[in-house]
């Protein structure tokens, strides 16, 4: 049984009455976050580029806990629609989770200027656009933002340099926004996932799922990859009122990789 099919009352209602936008929420970490938010009592607006993938969250929609809005997060105009649909459906906004992101792994000589622009648009500009669009509504509710960056933004590797650079910039953006937001009743935090076995990784591994998992796990102190729901748990905590004194932090959820 998928998380979406569970009766959403088996957990403490940490997010009862909260209204959230989760970008890129039809797959991977975003989907797990949408499902866990609903289990914790929230109503969610899930965005994504692909209408077809909205069926992944159909149970949440059918239960009246979610709606889907088609969006490319790097399209400035799309944000007005996402915000207005949220206000129309739920009457306000308490939480924005900027989860959508893209990864290109290529050696530097093969990285095109368009690749670099895509990395910046998907991982940095989108987050800026989302925060700016949500800001006036979050000030009204004392709301908060959780941005999904990556361990690779904090600890670079010899792969994915455009992605690392964009995520590092996203982290600077987030910390600045946290400082500015403190005067406006808005908290802003980041989560930094390590290797999380999401739909993205599954696509990347193709037919070599077990092989890839095993080789990646060997370099992780806890000797396994993470699950999307393990990131979702951290996002629920940071987005909830129990984290009311937390802003401007970067929480690594990576099986110990940052320490090692």
How many binding residues for ligand NAD (CB under 6 A)?
33
Residue 237 bears catalytic tag? no
Q: Which of 201, 230, 232, 253 binds ligand NAD (CB under 6 A)?
A: 201
d(Cα 80, Cα 77) in Å, to the nearest integer?
6
Q: Which is nearer to ligand NAD, 30 or 255 (CB)?
A: 30
Q: Are 36 and 229 in contact (CB under 8 A)?
A: yes
d(Cα 111, Cα 116) in Å, to the nearest integer?
7
Q: Which is nearer to ligand NAD, 29 or 145 (CB)?
A: 29
Q: Are 187 and 251 in contact (CB under 8 A)?
A: no
Q: Which is nearer to ligand NAD, 21 or 178 (CB)?
A: 21
Q: Which is nearer to ligand NAD, 86 or 99 (CB)?
A: 99
Of the candidate spans 66-74, 111-119, 138-146, 205-213, the one that interacts with ligand NAD by CB under 6 A turns out to be 66-74
- 127 forms part of the interface with ligand NAD (CB under 6 A): no
* Bridge partners for 20 per DSSP: 44, 95
Q: Which of 21, 27, 38, 124 binds ligand NAD (CB under 6 A)?
A: 27
Interacting residues with ligand NAD between 173 and 192 (CB under 6 A): none
Of the candidate spans 104-112, 199-207, 210-218, 237-245, the one that interacts with ligand NAD by CB under 6 A turns out to be 199-207
Output the smallest distance, CB 184 to ligand NAD, in A. Answer: 25
d(Cα 38, Cα 65) in Å, to the nearest integer?
6
Angle, helix 76-90 to helix 126-141, in steps of 10 degrees: 30
Q: What is the DSSP letter of 224?
A: S
Would the CA dihedral through 210, 215, 221, 223 be positive or negative? positive
d(Cα 9, Cα 92) in Å, to the nearest integer?
23
Count of C-beta atoms within a 10 Å radius of residue 185: 13
- 150 forms part of the interface with ligand NAD (CB under 6 A): yes
Point out which residues bind ligand NAD (CB under 6 A): 23-24, 26-30, 47-50, 53, 71-74, 99-103, 122, 126, 148, 150-151, 193, 195-196, 198-201
Enzyme catalytic residues: 163
């Amino acid at each position: 049984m998928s998380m979406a099919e569970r009766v959403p009352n088996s957990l403490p209602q940490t997010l009862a009455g909260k209204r959230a936008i989760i970008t890129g929420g039809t797959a991977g970490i975003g989907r797990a976050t949408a499902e866990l938010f609903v289990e914790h009592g929230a109503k969610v607006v899930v965005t994504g580029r692909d209408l077809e993938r909205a069926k992944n969250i159909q149970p949440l929609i059918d239960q009246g806990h979610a709606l889907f809005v088609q969006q490319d997060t790097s399209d400035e105009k799309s944000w007005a629609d996402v915000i207005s649909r949220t206000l129309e459906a739920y009457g306000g906004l308490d939480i924005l989770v900027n989860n959508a992101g893209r990864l290109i792994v290529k050696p530097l000589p093969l990285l095109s200027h368009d690749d670099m622009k895509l990395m910046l648009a998907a991982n940095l500009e989108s987050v800026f656009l989302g925060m700016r669009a949500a800001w006036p509504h979050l000030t009204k509710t004392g709301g908060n933002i959780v941005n999904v960056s990556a361990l690779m933004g904090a600890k670079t590797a010899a792969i994915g340099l455009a992605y690392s650079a964009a995520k590092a910039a996203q982290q600077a953006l987030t910390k600045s926004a946290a400082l500015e937001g403190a005067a406006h009743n808005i908290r802003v935090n980041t989560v930094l996932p390590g290797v999380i076995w999401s739909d993205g990784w599954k696509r990347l591994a193709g037919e070599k799922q077990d092989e890839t998992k095993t080789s990646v796990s060997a370099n992780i102190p806890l000797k396994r990859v993470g699950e999307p729901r393990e990131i979702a748990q951290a996002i629920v905590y940071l987005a909830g009122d129990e984290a009311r004194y937390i802003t401007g932090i970067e929480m690594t959820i990576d099986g110990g990789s940052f320490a090692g």
